[in-house]
């Protein structure tokens, strides 16, 4: 039996293979061409991402998952089938597959039913659903017996999951549809308004990943190539981290306010325990420089950003898969 953990995110999909670790992480994207009323898949994942901004109107590039919902089951199935082929070698092709789907707190029964059908169509011998936030806490603690509550803020590309996890169960959790894509959009709009330059989503993401910072007067810089709004000709600018500081601060002020509102809605005893144990920030956006200190200045709680925050969910999945009783308990409580 091949044991997998799969997290199909709004932005990226990650696959963990027991005994190997994380074997794949690709954009949750599909490129589809329409011609004479017929639809043909041209690319998935990284290949689809590379096509963005380089195709004509006949090709649409989209994510089959949006706002924690599977909006296109057919293409979600094709996408997952494509990824699974990439992680199996020839000798494994005939073996049975067991998948633990790592899902956000707001993933409802309708979407679980869709994933169930996809798993059946992919001939999975076994499958289950485990909350990503619980697995992340398990990855943070590496201890299945610690029952003290922990708050996790998972800052992803398309959403922010906030949850209080007590032991192996979610005490309270919500999804806020605000993530890295929103910051990308803000950067694109800012450059149009302040520098009269249009850029695509790939360039906006590169700016975010390369120079976004919460340090004042950060001189890190990047050369941006786009299209002039005034004459539609190519245009280059040298952009510094300080240029977009206000955009980054505005985004994380919203994150901070969301965390504060969530904490205030918890029970009194839980608020006290969060104040003692702190808030753990994970996900792709947790890599923004000086984020910990920035949030500490905004929050009344301790803030922690684990070094291995990009792999915590799969670290927890590894522990759970290794201990079937623990995995069953996690899945049964959700």
Whether the Cβ atoms of residue 59 and residue 32 lie closer than 8 Å to each other = yes
Cα separation, 286 vs 161, in Å, equals: 13
| CA-to-CA separations, 12 to 64, 88, 157, 159, in angstroms, rounded | 11, 19, 8, 12
To the nearest whole percent, how much of the chain has pLDDT over 70? Answer: 98
Taking only the tens place, the pLDDT of each residue in 292-312 is 999 999 987 889 999 888 889
Taking only the tens place, the pLDDT of each residue in 279-295 is 999 998 999 999 999 99
Taking only the tens place, the pLDDT of each residue in 81-111 is 999 989 886 556 557 889 999 999 988 899 9
pLDDT given for residue 52 in this prediction: 84
Residue whose pair of structure tokens reads 């004509």 in the numeric block:
56
Cα separation, 10 vs 38, in Å, equals: 26
**Nearest to 168, CA basis, from 4, 327, 2:** 327
For 158, the 3-state DSSP assignment is coil
What mean pLDDT is predicted for residues 314-333? 92
Higher per-residue pLDDT: 94 or 139: 139
Domains of the chain with CATH codes:
30-62 (no CATH), 147-178+250-305 (3.30.420.40), 180-247 (3.90.640.10)
Q: What is the DSSP string of 229-267?
A: TTT--EEEEEEETTTTHHHHHHHHHHHHHHHHHHHHTS-
Label the pairing between strands 12-17 and 38-44: unpaired
pLDDT given for residue 67 in this prediction: 80
For 100, the 3-state DSSP assignment is strand
- Which segments of the chain does DSSP mark as H helices, in order? 45-51, 73-87, 109-121, 132-141, 180-195, 201-211, 245-264, 268-277, 291-298, 312-322, 324-332
Whether the Cβ atoms of residue 179 and residue 156 lie closer than 8 Å to each other = yes
Evaluate if residue 244 carries a pLDDT over 90: yes
Angle at 293 between CA 284 and CA 311, to 5 degrees: 25
pLDDT category of residue 58 using cuts at 50, 70 and 90:
confident
Cα separation, 159 vs 178, in Å, equals: 5
Write down the pTM of the prediction: 0.89
Cα separation, 44 vs 61, in Å, equals: 9
């Amino acid at each position: 039996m091949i044991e997998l953990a799969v997290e199909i995110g709004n932005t990226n999909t990650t696959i963990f293979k027991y005994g190997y670790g994380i074997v794949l992480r690709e954009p949750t994207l599909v490129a589809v061409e329409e011609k004479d009323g017929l639809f043909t898949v041209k690319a998935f994942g990284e290949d689809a991402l590379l096509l963005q901004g380089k195709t004509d109107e006949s090709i649409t590039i989209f994510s089959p998952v949006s706002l924690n919902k599977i909006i296109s089951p057919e293409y979600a199935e094709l996408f997952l089938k494509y990824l699974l082929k990439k992680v199996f070698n020839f000798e494994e092709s005939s073996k049975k597959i067991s998948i633990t789907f790592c899902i956000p707190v707001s993933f409802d029964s309708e979407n679980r039913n869709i994933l169930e059908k996809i798993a059946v169509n992919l001939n999975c011998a076994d499958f289950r659903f485990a909350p990503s936030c619980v697995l992340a806490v398990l990855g943070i603690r590496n201890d299945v017996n610690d029952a003290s509550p922990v708050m996790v803020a998972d800052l992803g590309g398309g959403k922010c999951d906030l949850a209080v996890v007590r032991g192996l169960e979610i005490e309270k959790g919500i999804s806020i549809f605000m993530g890295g894509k929103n910051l990308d959009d803000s950067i694109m709009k800012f450059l149009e308004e302040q520098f009269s330059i249009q850029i695509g989503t790939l360039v906006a993401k590169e700016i975010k990943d390369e120079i976004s910072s919460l340090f004042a007067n950060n001189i890190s810089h990047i050369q941006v190539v786009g299209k002039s709004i005034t004459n539609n000709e190519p245009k280059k600018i040298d952009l510094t981290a300080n240029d977009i500081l206000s955009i980054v601060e505005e985004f994380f002020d919203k994150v901070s306010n969301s965390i504060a509102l969530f904490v205030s809605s918890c029970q009194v005893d839980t608020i006290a325990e969060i104040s003692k144990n702190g808030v753990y920030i994970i996900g792709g956006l947790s890599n923004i420089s000086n984020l910990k200190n920035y949030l500490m200045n905004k929050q009344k709680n301790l803030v922690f950003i684990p070094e291995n925050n990009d792999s915590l969910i799969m670290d927890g999945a590894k522990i759970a898969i290794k201990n079937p009783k623990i995995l069953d308990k996690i899945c049964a409580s959700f």
